[in-house]
Chain A
Amino acid sequence: MADPQDVLLRMQDDLKRALKKPVNERRWVMAIDLRKCVGCSACTIGCVAENKLPPGVVYRPVLEEEIGSYPNVTRRFIPRPCMQCDRPPCTPVCPVYATYKNAEGVVVVDYEQCIGCRYCITACPYAARTFDFGSFYNRGTAEKAGLIVGQTKATVYEQAANFEYGVQWTRRGEESPVGNVRKCHFCLHRVREGMLPECVTTCIGRATYFGDAWDPDALVSDLVGLPNVLRLKEELGTEPRVYYLL
């Protein structure tokens, strides 16, 4: 008989359990069931809203691929967060230690340390890093009051702070995170408060799973042990922490 508990509630319980463990005894991983993903991009939008991402900065695009030939054609959707590699090629190249794997194994960026050289972007084989050029969605739009419906509120929203890494970041002028490299961080600021990453909660198909792989009772540790699991570009030896269920 199927477990009546929603997977989100189960993962929530798993998360609370994991947070009681010492930091270095947690292994955050993500599993994405490609059979369930319908390509709605709710996770992409949820991530943009949660992290107040400006134009050109995206942490979790959904890749769409068409497979087969007529009449046997189908589409595949591959959400692509940061892989949080265990052997990340992006961290050793940083000239100032601004990006590194933290105690929880998540690859983070210290916005106040990053000089914006973008070397780490070239090193990532998954294109999981983007640069904050300081743009705003309403830049270049008409400035006359009332000409664009909702412009004022949109401006306020765009300039509201995000809380990445548990710090309040307001994008102003050239101040960080403008001029920095930015990336998915598994919504660490939410996780530390006992909330699942935004992309997990917004997934309408319950296709994204998150949790502590070192907890044998966690849902995610069941999933990453399945034989139909694949990781992107495994041949590079980066040891990604994002697993795809096929």
Chain B
Amino acid sequence: MTLKRILYIASILATVVGLYGVFLRFTTGHQEAAYGSYVVWGLWVAMYLFYVGITAGAVVLASLDYVLHLPLFRGTGRLSLVLALITLGAGLFHIWLDLGHLERIWKVYLQGNPFSVMMQIVLGYTLLGLMMLVALYLTLRKPEGMILKWLLILAIPLALFLSGGVGALLGVQAARLFWHVGLFPAQFPVFSLASGVAVLLLTLGFFWDRRDPRLPQMLLVLGISSVVLQVVKLYFLWADFSQSLYGGVPHNVQAVQEVLFGPYWWAFWFGQVLIGALVPIAVLSQPRLARNPLWAGWMGAAILLGFAIARANIVFPALTVPELAALTTAFSDPRLEYRYFPSLMEWAVSVGITGAAGLTFLLAERWLPLVQVE
């Protein structure tokens, strides 16, 4: 059985699981969700951050082909655009289902508060999505046109601004010291770029035509970029956590300790650091392995897994620290607890959206001329 066939089957099964989750969401509202009024954002918000992070990175990487016209990456632009659109859809669907009143989403567009970072991001990502749709259309009709180039030139700062904006969405919250880090809006674009490179590694490694003589070199360049970005990511992590622990402000220390030594310590150490960063650094810094499509593809997947966990480790810990210590015992209710693990419905929805995103990509790869070998 080929890898592609396995991916088809896995994507379809995951989508079916997701349909069950979405059915539960529409028939029972938020009652089957595990988040509450204290840990108020859960898996879906983390996955939203994860997916839109990839979107921003993929948009920037599309410029290698359509703006910079790098011969090595010629033909990869459309792939990046499709990845950007699919991941944007996955991210926005996650966050839409997370709303208490999905039917009121139009209010953000027509009655929005321009001073709310959330409103700015919703509008910005909608605009970015439309720009990417037009860009994709142009790649099919007029790939050499100036409109496409200028569209991408405009999209890059927008994508970086939005990526930083997602950091600011959390960073502006002075009530949550773990988020209230000035570096957040600076870190997120780096994370996005790293996610974009990882998704390109994954798709080029698994789906690009092996007969293309440029493939090993493309993978090597992306691999080296990944190594650099992962080192920068680890440095950000170190800077953030060491400062917080050294500073000793209880709320902040508690959140960092939750990540490092809390109930889900293994997700951080094994998932985020080991599989998500150290192993890819070790593998991709070996040119022989970095040029190998399968190794590169799997390392792309590992980095993405690390980022998914990283997003969860950004969202949840800040919310598991009580704003006032005695709140933990003030009122007894499952919705008023400072613990969180996603419910079956939440997992089902996220697995399903991921499956649907994968299936969409597989179909796009089959029906659109995504792989353009010279």
Interface residues of A (CB under 8 A from B): 44, 55-58, 61-65, 78, 80, 89, 92-97, 113-119, 121-127, 129-135, 139, 174, 176, 178-181, 232, 236
Contacts and interface: CB of A to CB of B under 8 A. Distances in A.
A30 to B, nearest CB: 17
Contacts of A113: 104, 107, 111
A123 B175 contact: yes
A199 to B, nearest CB: 14
A122 B40 contact: yes
Contacts of A96: 104, 107-108, 111-113, 119
A44 B41 contact: no
Contact of B324 (A55, A63, A114): A63
CB-CB nearest 7 A-B residue pairs: A116-B100, A56-B335, A179-B100, A63-B326, A125-B175, A130-B37, A95-B119
Which secondary structure dominates where chain B touches chain A?
A: loop
A94 B38 contact: no
A93 B112 CA distance: 11
B122 interface: yes
Contacts of A65: 325-326
8 contacts: A58-B333, A114-B101, A115-B108, A122-B173, A124-B175, A130-B37, A174-B29, A176-B101
A242 to B, nearest CB: 13
Interface string B318-334: 01001111110111011
B233 interface: no
A1 to B, nearest CB: 39
B113 A80 contact: no
A127 B30 contact: no
B333 A55 contact: yes
Nearest to B335: A56
Contact of B30 (A123, A133, A181): A133
Contacts of B330: 61-64, 80
Interface string B70-112: 0000000000000000000000000000111100110110011
Contact of B41 (A62, A63, A118, A179): A118
